[in-house]
Structure 1
Amino acid sequence: MSKQGQWDSPIAFIFAMIGAAVGLGNIWRFSYVLYSNGGGSFFIPYLIAIAIMGIPFLILEYGVGFSFRDSFSNIVKKINPKFEIFAWMLVIFVFVVTIYYMVILSWDLVYLGSSFTFSWGTDVAHYFVNNVGGSSNLSNASFLLVPTTIGVVALWILLWFIAHRNVDEGIGKASKILIPALFIIMGSIIVYALTLPGASIGINTLLTPDWTKLTDVNIWLAAFAQIIFSLSMGQAIALTYASYLPENSRLIDNALIVIASNSLFEICTAFGVFSILGYMSFTHGTPMVQLITEGTGLVFVVFPMIFNIMGPIGRVLAPLLFLAILFAGITSALGFFEPMLNSASNKLGWSRTKTATILSVIGCVFSVILTTGISSYLVSIVDSFVNEFGILILIAVQCVIFAWFYNVDKIIPALNEYSIFSVGKTWKFVIRYLLPCVLSAMWLIGIIKLFSTAKQFEIVVDVIIIALVMVFALILTKINPANE
């Protein structure tokens, strides 16, 4: 095992973990999921999903990473060498997330620059398609969206600058600056949004419960999916970060702090988002249903449209929002990048700087490919496939490997020793039986949905991704470690 870095304090680890968890999904996805899955009644499956999936699995990742103090690929190999290829498949899939995540961050960077002059104009949808995200017209794949391409290169340089340093000097320091700044900015936006005329219209629309939805299995699946993606669960991020923890760490307590912070952030942000949508509905008579959307449509079309009519305050809120998204995205991107960086460095015997440099160049090249005139279409294809096909089934595989082939009884003493809270038989039951079943069912439903609606071009992209992941996972598995 190569020498692991170490956090200089528990707060560095907590901020880094909050940074990895709090990302774009918390800002532009959760409010739509909450609204479209029963409003206030969605909190019941949401809290249950946290209790039986989010908390148990995050504690598992902390326990395994802390106990082994090694890279994800090495840990899985030590448990059973036959399983090493699964570890490489997961970290490569998560690296692919970094690649397209940097493209989305580049869109945000372009909008951050535009927010000072409102250069997106009055036709904000046209601006996004022609200057930033492109469209689904395949004939547009022949050219690059130059502002997005430049943004991608700049962001990869920034990611490398932070990630190539020792974990505490790089990620630790960056997180201790960016996370408090993110919370202050978003807190300011939310507080102001709640004072806007019509804010109550938005919040009532968001929270009005539909109790009949609780009998719909899709609502429960949506709650579990939100927890998985919101916490970046099972993506080897928490496990890798926990491997840098010093002795005497309160593992369970830290897990609960991160989960609580993540949930409070996305719930409060949902209030802010719908307050702003309510303002638009109130001042311009636009029905809420016409404004409510998620992802790029919300952030890059609806919000600029609202900022356009807000007057001077819009000139303040717009840069703040896009800056907050940038901060949230950078800390999450660092989390996605770390498992591949740590595992590759340990496997190949390279320095952290050399590994970060090579991976950043590779990542940047693939990100640039995603900045063509069909950028947003490509990103949506890759995002759906990686999350619904790749990562979801590999989380279930991890449950089986850690609970059955390693035996989680071994990590319970380390988990309970310094923590105020403790785990035991109930936690083991959830990890061994409940989670693998739930995750496998979600994977099957997701795969059926994914491929039943996929177009030919989308299937081709999916096949290319799985082929690349399998080839590189096999190569990295077969390489003899540098320290052997």
Structure 2
Amino acid sequence: MTSSTPAAVQPRAEWTGQIGFIVSAIGSAVGLGNIWRFPGVAYENGGGAFLIPYIVALLTAGIPILFLDYAIGHRFRGSAPLALRRLAGKLGEGIGWFQVMICVFIAIYYTAVLAWAASYFVFSFSMPWGDDATGFFVGEYLKLSDAPFTMEFVPGVLIPLVLMWIITLIVLGAGVVNGVQRLNMIAMPLLVIGFLVLVVRALMLPGAAEGLNALFTPDFAALADPGVWVAAYSQIFFSLSVAFGIMMTYASYRKRRSNMTTPGLVVAFANSSFEILAGIGVFATLGFFAYQQGIAVSELEGLTGVGLAFMTFPAIVAEMPGGPFFGALFFGSLTLAALTSLISILEVVFAGVIDKFGISRKTAAYGLGGVLAVVSVLLFGTTSGLIALDTIDNWANNIGIVASAVVMTITVLWIRRAGRELSGHLSALSTFKVGRIWLFLVSVLGPVVLGYMLIATVVSLIAEPYEGYDPGYLLVVGWGSVLLMIVGSIVLTALPWKFEPDRFTPWPPLDASGRSASPGSVSHRAADAAQTEGGAR
């Protein structure tokens, strides 16, 4: 092979087995949204009745699109840009790089929240917020400025932010098995045990029953509101980590003869189970807080997101018996959940760069990762970090990820018409078969629902400034973030590959109807040989 000819794609890392993959995928799915978003969303959208649209959304969008990610990543054995290029050419590659760019933006602010959670884990033992948790968080801890952007660094935020980046990049630099899988195999059991203890403790508090009644008492009239159904699909969609490269990348590390759909069901239902568990723990605790103040749960403020985690919960911890222990459990759980999710987000970025440019994992982790860390510190280690975080988070998730899902499903299933091929791939390797129903869900229902969500979100953001922020600031930071994602994806697609991305034979081979030849057939053996020669095993 001459020096001008691209080499074959490098051999791909693989999980040690199904358990390593499942635990790592659950580690990605179970994140901040499970703990601080689901309980509040459920409470505000019909309480117990919200479980109906939630389950419908899980079965009709969450699991089907999760399977789509698995099928693409596993069949085409690559990061999001590589797998989608092999499936849908340069258009597919561009979508893959857009997903990588989404992960870049999410990673730089997600690490800041991880740093806050780690800081509050330490704070739990002394509870420095006293009787003013909100004032402590925005004043003494973040030192929040009214200016949209400052270069005034906050040491209490900067130091843990740098430490979290160091830990994260060391884990990713160690590799898929020795780093990502090993961390998840340790962190996830600790997270589950710690959170179970927290929930049991919360249920023993006075007022816990009132909190659970507030969460689970059904308001069936809410089911007539389209917004409730959109909220359910939104929650499922974001909490499962689908359509922005994570599950596609993780599936590409599975061995070729791997059951894909059954582990997908395990991941999906484990994620939803943790969300419901989080709802029980959070609202039992909120019931205690309302009881202590002599008010109803409905009168409490700060029931979702940053407010719940860093304002409401510290105030609760200060009032309850054994507060330091309870606080350590909560913020320790938040830290572990954020860390495992951040690892998966950055893995999408590094895997894409490693595949395209042929650099080593350590170069990607410490070189590119170091650049991202610097950007993260400049934006979120300062007194203006909270506003920037809130803005970028809203646009990256509600515009970026949803747009990615709509464009990807249309490209793969309508333009490329790869539905039968992907369905056949999943069914050929898995015990749980997929067919026409799955194809309808991912090619028709999914794009329609997600398209509606995207249009509604865009209209809402144009009609009214998000959170009352300055429209000019939102234009630059919010819409500007999406523009940078698009420009970045175009530039990265245009750059040449270090290796030959198309020298690849999907396995197992399928006929025109999407059926697989028998594992011992000549076509299977030929595909195995092609895989070996192409270096794509």
Q: Do the structures match in fold with TM over 0.5? A: yes
TM-aligned CA deviation for residue 418 of structure 1: 4.3
1:101 to partner: Cα distance: 0.4
Task: Note if contact 2:413-2:443 (Cα within 8 Å) is conserved in structure 1.
Answer: yes
User: Is residue 253–residue 420 contact of structure 1 (8 Å, CA) maintained in 2?
Assistant: yes
**What is the distance in 2 between the residues matched to 1:437 and 1:394?**
14
Structure 1: give runs of 5+ residues left out of the alignment. Answer: none
Aligned pairs, number: 483
- Say yes or no: does 1:464 pair with 2:480: yes
Deviates most, 358-367 or 374-383: 358-367
TM-score (norm 2): 0.87
Task: Verify the 8 A CA contact 1:134 1:376 in the aligned structure 2.
Answer: no
Say yes or no: does 1:408 pair with 2:424: no
| Aligned: 1:86 with 2:95 | yes
Q: Partner residue of 1:184?
A: 193
Matches within 5 A, 1:440-459: 440-454=451-465, 455-459=471-475
Q: Shift in Å at residue 286 of structure 1?
A: 3.3
> 1:18 and 2:26 equivalent?
yes
Deviates further, 22-31 or 120-129: 120-129
Distance 1:80 1:289 in 2: 52
Residue 281 of structure 1 is matched in structure 2 by 290
How many angstroms apart in 2 are the aligned matches of 1:244 and 1:406? Answer: 25
Alpha-carbon deviation of 1:475? 2.3
Shift of 1:338: 1.0
1:115 aligns with 2:124: yes
User: Given residue 105 of structure 2, which amino acid in structure 1 is its aligned partner?
Assistant: V
Deviations 1:169-189 (A, max 9, x none): 110110000001100000110
Residue in 2 aligned with 1:201? 210
Partner Cα distance (1:344, 1:441) in 2: 33
Structure 1 residue 172 corresponds to structure 2 residue 181: yes
Tell me, yes or no, if structure 1 residue 300 matches structure 2 residue 310: yes
Letter in 2 for 1:24: L
Correspondences of 1:273-422 after superposition (within 5 Å): 273-292=282-301, 293-311=303-321, 313-368=322-377, 369-404=379-414, 405-422=416-433
Residue 284 of structure 1 and its aligned partner are, at CA, apart by 2.9
Counterpart of 1:56 in structure 2 is 64
Q: 1:481 is matched by which residue type in structure 2?
A: W
2:231 aligns to what?
222
Closer, same or farther in 2 for the Cα pair 1:134/1:243, shift >3 Å? same
Alignment deviations for residues 425-484 of structure 1 (CA, whole Å, 9 cap, x no partner): 111111111111111111000111122222221212124323432332222111111124
Q: Distance in 2 between the 1:272 and 1:82 partners?
A: 45
Amino acid at match of 1:319: A
What's 2:489 paired with? 473
Gaps of 5+ in 2: 1-8, 466-470, 501-537
Partners of 2:10 and 2:410 lie apart in 1 by 26
Normalised by the length of structure 1, the TM-score is: 0.97
- What is the CA–CA distance in structure 1 between the aligned matches of 2:12 and 2:284, rounded to whole Å? 45
Give the Å deviation of 1:196: 1.3
In the aligned structure 2, how far is the partner of 1:76 from the partner of 1:91? Answer: 12
Contact 1:395 1:439 in 2 (8 A): yes
Cα root mean square deviation, aligned = 1.5
Which one of 93, 97, 100 corresponds to residue 106 of structure 2?
Answer: 97
Kindly indicate whether the alpha-carbon contact (under 8 Å) linking 1:107 and 1:132 is maintained by their aligned counterparts in 2: no
Once the two structures are superposed, what CA deviation does each residue of 1:296-345 show, in whole Å capped at 9, x if it has no partner? 1111111111111113x111111111111000000000111111110111
CA distance in structure 2 between the partners assigned to 1:387 and 1:277 by the alignment: 27
CA distance in 2, matches of 1:239, 1:83: 13
Q: How far apart are the structure 2 equivalents of 1:353 and 1:140?
A: 32
Larger radius of gyration: 2
Q: The residue matched to 1:118 in structure 2 has which SS?
A: coil
User: More deviation in 83-92 or 350-359?
Assistant: 83-92
Greater helix fraction, Structure 1 or Structure 2: 1
Match status 1:32 vs 2:43: no
Q: Deviations over 1:338-365 (max 9, x none)?
A: 1111011111110111011122112111
Question: Cα 1:139–1:419, aligned 2, differ >3 Å: closer, same or farther?
Answer: closer
Alpha-carbon distance in structure 1 between the residues aligned to 2:313 and 2:221:
31
**Paired AA for residue 461 in structure 2:** L
- Aligned partner of 1:41 in structure 2 is 49
Q: 1:300 to 1:205 in 2, by over 3 A?
A: same
Q: CA deviation at 1:149?
A: 1.2
Q: Read off the aligned partner of 2:212 and give its amino acid letter.
A: I
* Structure 1 residues 412 and 470: alpha-carbon distance in aligned structure 2, compared to 1, 3 A threshold: closer
Is the aligned partner of 1:240 residue 2:244?
no
Name the CA distance, whole Å, in 2 between partners of 1:82 and 1:25: 31
How far apart in 1 are the matches of 2:338 and 2:179? 16
Does the residue aligned with 1:232 lie in a helix, a strand or coil? Answer: coil
**2: CA distance, partners of 1:441 / 1:464:** 22
* 1:139 to partner: Cα distance: 6.6
CA apart distance, 1:417: 3.1
Question: 1:131 touches 1:145 (CA, 8 Å); kept in 2?
Answer: no
Residue type matched to 2:478 in 1?
D
The amino acid of 2:333's aligned partner reads A
**Contact (CA 8 Å) 1:416, 1:423: kept in 2 or not?**
yes
Q: How does 1:96-175 map to 2 (within 5 A)?
A: 96-135=105-144, 137-138=146-147, 141-175=150-184
Matched letter for residue 46 of structure 1: Y
Q: Secondary structure at the match of 2:150?
A: helix
1:234–1:140 Cα change, 3 Å: closer
SS at match of 1:2: coil
| Residue of structure 1 equivalent to 2:498 | 482
TM-superposed deviation, 1:90: 1.6
Q: Out of 472-481 and 267-276, give the one that drifted further.
A: 472-481
1:115 deviates by 0.9
Which 10-residue stretch deviates more, 375-384 or 470-479?
Answer: 470-479
Q: Which amino acid aligns with 2:347?
A: E
Give the conservation status (yes or no) of the 8 Å contact 1:189–1:317: yes
Mapped to 2, the partners of 1:291 and 1:324 lie a distance apart of 23
